[in-house]
């Protein structure tokens, strides 16, 4: 796996450019201590926006609520023309149409890894922006999380935001004592925002930033059987972790408006922390960190942001080059997106640019320039993408009109699926199920479409039809955990209890289980009743 290392006299930092540029390891050289949760496995799970996420290290989250869409995608990586090694990771984020640039450096003599971030909006219109640097650190029974705040917004899996004292009584600054998983979003009072996690001996990680990155958050899985199961699912046995995070807004339920043709920058530092009195009362321990933060001074904005790159060492996607070719992204020596990064994914869109038609299936691209080009494209697949672009602007009626014209020419499974989703959002489960059945008949080998069709049939009260479809699936699809879960639910709803019981007894593993999803425990209790204990292998409850 590609890895890029920065090192000075005090620290060694390792980045994974092929996996979202994740900062995977940060080691204090004098002690050999790993400051991050360096996961012993890379176990993909369905906790991000694209069923692609893994625990560990520092993840950069840009886009919309949740772990960012590029968390398992390659980024461009290059060295910067600077007096000492500066690593630049960058990419075009096509959900929001932004350029993200992450510069990391270990200047000579520095006891902190310095990370400067720039988020550029090249469009004329304002864009809603969400950013959180998500820092996974080891969790021990004595781990303590400190922040310059006396209040926090608590968010549990009852989905309510409540302002509470921090650390409060009982003391929630020690996540190893929690029963349930939770988020705490701090009301930060310091001019230099910071957050720290230390073990029982006072050793740990201190994160600081310039004021733009104002938000701070603590997330822990709790000690319930469900939280413990999630930890083992993601990191294997005996490898618990928690997350300390830094964001642009106070909570992760918010976005901030980034004006058109504007760049936001900030700088973060990651450094070892040694508290002389780790068991001191919370106020005194927090004050001790405050003193260290003030002594270190506020992080300075990295001087490298506008400097050009000299040596590209890892390739990301070709979407930035496509946007530049379309005239939506100015050329930049700081974040070059050359033509040689264009590939098969961008080829249909280049044809649209050059010939005014969109040949064959293409991945989704949205934006005003593409919308204008798609309005003139008369082919059915162009109309499908025209509908997606119109939907992204909020024009539901025009999107459905474009899809209707596409279906009048050809019954296409992707277009049928789009119309079905519109009906599902409107609460019309019967129409959604009928459309998805037609789409599935046209594309029976597309497993995600199979899953959506089965879920729609259950929502429409047609469990027997769901079982009929499952019985016709090839063995590979039938054996998939998500489809077996849907089969068990359909069988129970259709009165075929023995079929549900066999699936539960044989063992049901759902590889794409969502964070907070209660499907397994709901199925178990629906079959057995509330009096039967939930087996540990089925317990992913977060509350």
Per-residue tokens: 217: 């958050």
Query: How many C-alpha atoms does 436 have within 13 Å on its Cβ side?
Result: 30
Give 63's DSSP letter. S
* For residue 121, pLDDT beyond 80: yes
User: What is d(CA 265, CA 480) in angstroms, rounded to the nearest whole number?
Assistant: 44
Tell me the pTM. 0.95
Query: What is residue 99's predicted lDDT score, i.e. its pLDDT?
Result: 98
Region 56-72: mean pLDDT is: 93
**pLDDT band for position 64 (50/70/90)?**
confident
Condensed to tens digits (0 to 9), the pLDDT of residues 332-386 reads 999 999 999 999 999 999 999 999 999 888 999 999 999 999 999 888 889 999 9
Residue 539 has pLDDT above 80, yes or no: yes
> What is the chain's mean pLDDT, rounded?
95
What pLDDT does residue 66 have? 83
User: Which tokens belong to 452?
Assistant: 């959506």
2 vs 306: CA distance, rounded Å: 26
DSSP state of 9: S
Q: What is the pLDDT of residue 298?
A: 72
Domains of the chain (ranges, CATH numbers): 31-76+123-259+268-303 (no CATH), 344-538 (1.25.40.10)
CA 428 from chain centre, in angstroms, equals 30
Q: Is the peptide bond before 167 cis (omega within 30 degrees of 0)?
A: yes
328 contacts 367 by C-beta, under 8 angstroms:
yes
Cα separation, 371 vs 208, whole angstroms: 41
Which helix (H) or strand (E) segment holds residue 537: the answer is none
Rounded CA gap, 202 and 208, in Å? 18
User: If you ran DSSP here, which 8-state letter would residue 176 be given?
Assistant: G
Residue 86's beta-bridge partner residues?
A: 105
Q: What is the pLDDT of residue 58?
A: 98
* Strand intervals (E) in 232-335: 241-247, 256-258, 262-274, 309-314
Burial 20-48, CB ≥16 within 10 A → b, else e = bbbbbbbbbeeeeeebbbbbeeebbbbbb
The band of 303, judged by pLDDT with boundaries at 50, 70 and 90, is confident
Query: What's the rounded Cα separation, in Å, for the pair 347 and 357?
Result: 12
Q: Give the pLDDT confidence score for residue 222 in this predicted structure.
A: 93
Residue 65's pLDDT band (boundaries 50, 70, 90)?
confident
Q: Which two tokens stand for residue 273?
A: 């922390």
Number of Cβ within 10 Å of residue 330's Cβ equals: 10
> Interior CA angle at 244 toward 76 and 188, to 5°?
110
């Amino acid at each position: 796996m590609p890895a890029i290392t920065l090192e000075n006299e005090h620290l060694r930092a390792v980045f994974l450019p092929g996996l979202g540029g994740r900062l995977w390891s940060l080691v204090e050289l004098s002690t050999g201590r790993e400051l991050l949760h360096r996961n012993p496995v890379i176990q993909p799970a369905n906790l991000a926006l694209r069923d692609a996420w893994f625990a560990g290290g520092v993840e950069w989250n840009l886009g919309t609520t949740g772990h960012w869409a590029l968390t398992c995608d390659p980024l461009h990586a290059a060295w910067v023309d600077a007096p000492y090694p500066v690593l630049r990771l960058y990419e075009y984020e096509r959900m929001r149409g932004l350029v993200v640039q992450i510069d990391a450096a270990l200047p000579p003599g520095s006891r902190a890894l310095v990370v400067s971030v720039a988020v550029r909006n090249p469009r004329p219109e304002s864009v809603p922006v969400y950013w959180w640097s998500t820092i996974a650190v080891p969790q021990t029974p004595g781990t303590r999380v400190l922040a310059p705040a006396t209040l926090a917004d608590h968010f549990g899996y009852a989905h309510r935001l409540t302002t509470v004292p921090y650390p409060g009584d009982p003391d929630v600054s020690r996540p190893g004592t929690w029963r349930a998983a939770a988020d705490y979003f701090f009301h930060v009072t310091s001019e230099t925002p910071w957050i720290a996690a230390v073990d029982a001996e006072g050793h740990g990680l201190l994160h600081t930033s310039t004021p733009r990155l104002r938000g701070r958050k603590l997330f822990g899985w709790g000690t319930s059987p469900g939280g413990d199961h999630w930890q083992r699912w993601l990191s294997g046995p005996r490898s618990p972790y928690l997350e300390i995070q830094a964001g642009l807004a106070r909570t992760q339920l918010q976005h901030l408006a980034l004006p058109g043709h504007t760049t936001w920058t900030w700088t973060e530092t990651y450094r070892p922390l040694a508290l002389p009195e780790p068991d001191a009362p919370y106020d005194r321990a927090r004050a001790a960190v405050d003193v260290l933060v003030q002594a270190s001074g506020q992080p300075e904005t990295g001087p490298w942001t506008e400097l050009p790159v000299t040596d590209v060492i890892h390739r990301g996607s070709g979407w930035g080059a496509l946007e530049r070719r379309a005239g939506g992204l100015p050329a930049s020596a700081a974040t070059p997106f050359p033509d040689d990064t264009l590939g098969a994914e961008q080829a249909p869109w280049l044809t649209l640019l050059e010939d005014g038609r969109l040949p064959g299936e293409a991945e989704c691209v949205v934006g005003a320039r593409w919308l204008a080009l798609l309005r003139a494209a008369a082919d059915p697949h162009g109309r499908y993408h025209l509908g997606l672009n119109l939907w992204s602007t909020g024009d539901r009626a025009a999107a459905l009109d474009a899809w209707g014209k596409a279906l009048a020419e050809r019954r296409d499974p992707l277009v049928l699926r789009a119309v079905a989703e519109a009906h599902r959002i409107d609460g019309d489960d019967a129409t959604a199920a009928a459309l998805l059945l037609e789409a599935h008949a046209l594309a029976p080998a597309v497993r995600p479409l199979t899953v959506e069709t089965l879920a729609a049939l259950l929502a429409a009260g047609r469990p027997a039809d769901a079982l009929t479809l499952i019985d016709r699936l090839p063995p590979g699809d039938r054996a998939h955990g998500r489809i077996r879960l849907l089969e068990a639910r359909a069988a129970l709803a259709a009165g075929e209890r023995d079929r549900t019981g066999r699936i539960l007894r044989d063992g049901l593993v759902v590889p794409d289980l969502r964070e907070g999803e209660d499907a397994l425990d709901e199925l178990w209790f629906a079959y057995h009743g509330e009096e039967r204990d939930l087996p540990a292998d089925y317990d992913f409850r977060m509350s």
